[in-house]
Amino acid sequence: MESYPAILSLLIFCGGGVSFLYAGIVSIVEKERRATLLFFAFSFLFLLISCLIFLFSGSFSGPLGYLIGVVFTLILILVGFPISGLKNIQRIYPEKRFDERDIQFARHRLKPDTPNFNAYYNDNPANKKIDDHQRNMPGLLSPKAKKYHIASFNAAEANFETVRLLRPHAVGSVDEDRKELNPAQISKFLKTWLKKQGAHSVGVCELKDYHIYKRSGKTFDYGKKIDLNHKYVIVFTVEMDKEMIDLAPGGPTMMESSHIYLTSGVMAVNVAAFIRNLGHSARAHIDGNYEIICPLAARDAGLGEIGRMGILMTPKLGPRVRIAAISTNLPLIISKDIQSTEMVDFCRLCKKCAKNCPSQAIPFGDRDEESGSLRWKINSDACFSFWCNTGTDCAQCIKVCPYSHPNSALHNLIRWGIKNNPLFRRLAIHLDDLFYGSKATARPMPEWMEVGG
């Protein structure tokens, strides 16, 4: 075992075997059966080769040993060495504000033969056919929906009912005794406090005109022109449980989604009240009571990028988050706008969400420019129709996204490679398909959720 090639080959295969063994153990914890079996199989293969190298080390002292050592060293350098670039990926910001009345939820809530109904479809006749079709479907959380499940559907409805109780508290009176605070210190305090309450990531950006809805689509102030005279937005994400999302597109995903809307809503309302108590105007933006487009504000606050599936992709959890925000005039320090161009490039290459979208609502092509914005435009009508049929908010795209894996050392190493090396970025897509499957697989309902009835 004196030869350098033999020692190098032994280290490479032995190291690979131990790494795959570790990945297999992690996969057991994550309840990823396919990945567990494959990781252990690769571990056995690499460790077996290590034993053969040790037993027949003399065979590795010649050209074969040098060839193996050089090839594997070059592969490690090519896929592991940090390479910057991606200058061809850019952001183009929206030129105008979006009307909340055009989103599917607002259109779905319109009651036939009412003034708002007639006025909207007089202005937007092209939307009426699909909207009438969706109104004839069972609808979200309906007992008649395809995926109806008594426990998860009713738990989700309870969550949304509680969120509705929070909505009036998004705004409130401002204390007349304004406290003058150090922007850096109060920014640090708010970010730390939100994380202690359960936020995964927190950022601050300047409130831009394109963040703000043009007119309200909410039932209680439908059609109202939105004038939000705030300077800053505090945006934060809250993680959705991986095991619940893995049950997509079933009821537990809607249960989890609504739970995180409730959790983030409580946090946003709480922080907004705190800021108003300091004598500064503040408004919480929570489910059912937004005046801003949270994903755009989150992107500009450095929390991620808008991915192929049309929602925020975070660096550590991908799309497996929900977002809430607080707009305010409290002087704050704006977060660094970290443009995660590698995530956009990964979405350009991956297409796993598009391949697994049951409504085929996610495009396979590249981003398109629309109204001054460069983005992937999903077919929101097709997506919402699937929701109305199943009774859930699907989340199949979130489930299969390679970025949605748990925030652990194993997956963070993969994310580091994706961020820093374009060759590894491409390799990671194929590895994810190999170890976790290219197609979404159905998972059984947990025993604790079976309540009968």
The Cα-based distances of 314 to 205, 239, 311, 322 in angstroms read 16, 10, 10, 11
Least confident of 6-10, 102-106, 153-157, 443-447: 6-10
Q: What is the pLDDT of residue 101?
A: 97
Q: How far apart are CA 72 and CA 93, in angstroms?
A: 43
Q: How far apart are CA 448 and CA 438, in angstroms?
A: 29
Backbone angles phi, psi at 401, to 5 degrees: -60, 125
Contact 399, 443 (CB under 8 A): no
User: Considering the domain boundaries, does residue 77 fall inside one?
Assistant: no
CA 293 from chain center: how many Å?
A: 15
Q: How far apart are CA 254 and CA 247, in angstroms?
A: 10
Q: How far apart are CA 423 and CA 417, in angstroms?
A: 9
Q: How far apart are CA 108 and CA 87, in angstroms?
A: 41
Residue among 8, 451, 23 at smallest CA distance from 255:
451
Give the chain's length: 453
Backbone angles phi, psi at 41, to 5 degrees: -65, -45
% of the chain at pLDDT higher than 70: 91
Least confident of 311-325, 363-377, 382-396: 363-377
pLDDT of 72 > 80? The answer is: no
Q: What is the pLDDT of residue 56?
A: 67
Q: What is the pLDDT of residue 93?
A: 83
User: Considering the domain boundaries, does residue 449 fall inside one?
Assistant: no
User: Considering the domain boundaries, does residue 2 fall inside one?
Assistant: no
| Residues spanned by the domain of 226 | 101-348+379-402
User: Considering the domain boundaries, does residue 412 fall inside one?
Assistant: no
Q: What is the pLDDT of residue 7?
A: 72
Backbone angles phi, psi at 235, to 5 degrees: -120, 140
Contact 212, 226 (CB under 8 A): yes
pLDDT of 357 > 70? The answer is: yes
pTM: 0.92
Q: How far apart are CA 317 and CA 238, in angstroms?
A: 10
Q: How far apart are CA 4 and CA 246, in angstroms?
A: 47
pLDDT digits (tens, 9 = 90+) for 213-238: 999 999 889 999 999 999 999 999 99
Backbone angles phi, psi at 428, to 5 degrees: -60, -35
Contacts 24+ apart (CB under 8 A), 112-121: 116/222, 116/223, 119/223
Q: Work out the angle at residue 367's Cα, subtended by the Cα atoms of residues 365 and 372, and round it to the nearest 5 degrees.
A: 150
pLDDT of 286 > 50? The answer is: yes
Overall average pLDDT of the 361-366 stretch: 95
Overall average pLDDT of the 102-120 stretch: 96
249: preceding bond cis by omega (within 30 degrees)? yes
User: Considering the domain boundaries, does residue 80 fall inside one?
Assistant: no
The Cα-based distances of 17 to 22, 30, 71, 314 in angstroms read 9, 20, 18, 31
Q: What is the pLDDT of residue 117?
A: 97
Q: How far apart are CA 137 and CA 143, in angstroms?
A: 12
3-state secondary structure of 328: strand
% of the chain at pLDDT higher than 90: 78
pLDDT of 104 > 50? The answer is: yes
Overall average pLDDT of the 263-282 stretch: 98
Q: Work out the angle at residue 349's Cα, subtended by the Cα atoms of residues 346 and 352, and round it to the nearest 5 degrees.
A: 90
Q: What is the pLDDT of residue 196?
A: 98
Q: What is the pLDDT of residue 1?
A: 46
Q: How far apart are CA 351 and CA 305, in angstroms?
A: 16
The Cα-based distances of 36 to 32, 243, 414, 448 in angstroms read 6, 16, 17, 24
Least confident of 44-53, 147-156, 246-255, 308-317: 44-53
Q: How far apart are CA 44 and CA 52, in angstroms?
A: 12
Q: What is the pLDDT of residue 248?
A: 97
pLDDT digits (tens, 9 = 90+) for 19-69: 999 999 999 999 999 999 999 999 999 888 888 776 766 555 566 666 666
Q: What is the pLDDT of residue 284?
A: 98
Q: Work out the angle at residue 385's Cα, subtended by the Cα atoms of residues 321 and 126, and round it to the nearest 5 degrees.
A: 115
pLDDT of 254 > 50? The answer is: yes
Number of domains in the chain: 1
Q: What is the pLDDT of residue 142?
A: 97
User: Considering the domain boundaries, does residue 263 fall inside one?
Assistant: yes
User: Considering the domain boundaries, does residue 450 fall inside one?
Assistant: no
User: Considering the domain boundaries, does residue 254 fall inside one?
Assistant: yes
